[in-house]
Amino acid sequence: MKKTDFFDEERLFFDLKNLYEGFGYKQFKMSKFEEYGVYLENKKFLRSPYVITFTDLNGKLMALKPDVTLSIVKNTKATNLQSEKLYYKESVYRPQGATKEFKEISQVGLELIGDVDGYGILEVLSLAGKSLGAIDKNFVLDVSHLGVVLGLMEEYGIVNGDEVLAYVSSKNVHDLKTYCQQKGIDPAFADKVSLLLSAKGSFCEVLAIAKQVATNEVSKQAVDELQIVCDSFGTMGYGDKVRLDFSIINDTDYYNGIVFVGYVSKSPSLVLSGGRYDKLAGKFADVKALGFAIYLNELAMYKQTQYGDETDVLVLYSQNSDYAKVLEYAQQQTDLGKKVLVAKTAPADKKFAQVVEL
């Protein structure tokens, strides 16, 4: 296997770093700990409510970071006139998998805080697309705007909409229709959502369908914002890799506006997730914010296979061997690009392409 054939996390980060720094984003390093209170107050923003906590020497309750964005906006110096452009590579600690044990999860992310206008949206979306392309050329970036569905809900008088949003995010139109029937919601609502969710075609084609549905102020505004993305499509050059999908729903207490998720062909889960979180940022400063994170642990499928890890040559030597010759031989082999293991006895659990006794 050639060295360039396999995925390398370090190299990916190097590429992303160059990409982000090229657009003026600065790396943000932070401590592994944060005061627990920050997470307690913003529990719904976290992907999981479980946090590893400990008491520090001053008696303060601290937490191992389950999230990076909160720490960044909490300390932001950005204002509505002066934006901050940041990226990071950090570990977060969350329960994962069937065993629900805490895992250290490595993520790379990018945040634009301050004044987020149409250009800012395009820049961040374009960087999200480029980041996915750096992992795998075969990727999909799904974009949506929460305002479209929320506007529709407002129009039809749906106040407590968690259940409705859950149906939307799983593209579950059949149960949404039953729910509307039970709650006495105008069936036209479910029909409109169904139209949005089943719309097929390019970003701009799906947007044209959304325009027919968006009749109130909130949804119209959302559609206008999406129009900016549609208009600049030529310059972004992603073709049908960037799609409009109204099933993307993030927590509406914190997120508003544009939201997006990214997939790459070999991973069965989403590898990038982002969106506009003015509501969260607004809790700490008078700013707007947009960002995304890439979950490096979801890229395991791209990592080097066991095959590439194997050692090529086993060099066996004994007490009577000429040590200088052994070293010289090993050196020759590594110069040829081979991996060498020098040992007195062969390890039982490994296989080698070649065994040499010296």
Partner 1 sequence: MINIALPKGRLGEKVYKMLEKAGYACDEFDKDSRKLIFTDEKNGVQYFWVKPSDVPIYVQRGAADVGVAGKDILLEYDADVYEMLDLKIGKCRMAVAAKNGYRDDLSKPLVVATKFVNIAKEFYAGKNRDIDIIKLSGSIELAPILGMSDVIVDIVETGTTLKENDLGVIETILPISARLIVNKAKYKFKNDEIDNMVQNLKKELPDD
Q: Which amino acid is at 259?
A: V
Pick the piece of the chain touching partner 1 (CB under 8 A) from 43-51, 113-121, 135-143, 156-164. 135-143
**Footprint of partner 1 on 88-117 (CB under 8 A):** 98
Among positions 200, 235, 344, 348, the unique one binding partner 1 when judged by CB under 8 A = 200
Nearer to partner 1, 64 or 132 (CB): 132
Minimum CB separation of residue 25 from partner 1 in Å reads 27
Assess 263 for contact with partner 1 (CB under 8 A): yes
| Token reading at 267 | 């991973």
Q: Which amino acid is at 152?
A: L
| Backbone dihedral angles phi then psi of residue 267, each to the nearest 5 degrees | -100, 135
Contact, 44 vs 254, CB < 8 A? yes
Per the DSSP assignment, residues forming a β-bridge with 292 are: 110, 274
Contact, 189 vs 156, CB < 8 A? yes
Minimum CB separation of residue 1 from partner 1 in Å reads 24
Residues contacting 190, CB < 8 A, separation 6+: 173, 176, 177, 180
Nearer to partner 1, 247 or 256 (CB): 247
Nearer to partner 1, 270 or 326 (CB): 270
Assess 265 for contact with partner 1 (CB under 8 A): yes
Nearer to partner 1, 4 or 182 (CB): 182
254 secondary structure, DSSP code:
T
Nearer to partner 1, 175 or 310 (CB): 175
CA dist 225 → 118, 232, 276 (Å): 7, 12, 12
Q: State how far the Cα of 304 lies from the Cα of 297, in Å rounded to an integer.
A: 14
**Footprint of partner 1 on 215-234 (CB under 8 A):** none
**DSSP SS3 for 151:** helix
Among positions 71, 267, 273, 333, the unique one binding partner 1 when judged by CB under 8 A = 267
Assess 247 for contact with partner 1 (CB under 8 A): yes
Assess 182 for contact with partner 1 (CB under 8 A): no
Assess 239 for contact with partner 1 (CB under 8 A): no
Contact, 110 vs 86, CB < 8 A? yes
CA dist 107 → 16, 67, 140, 296 (Å): 12, 10, 19, 5
Nearer to partner 1, 106 or 169 (CB): 169
Q: Residues interacting with partner 1, by CB under 8 A?
A: 98, 138, 140, 142, 170-172, 174-175, 200, 243, 247, 263, 265, 267-270
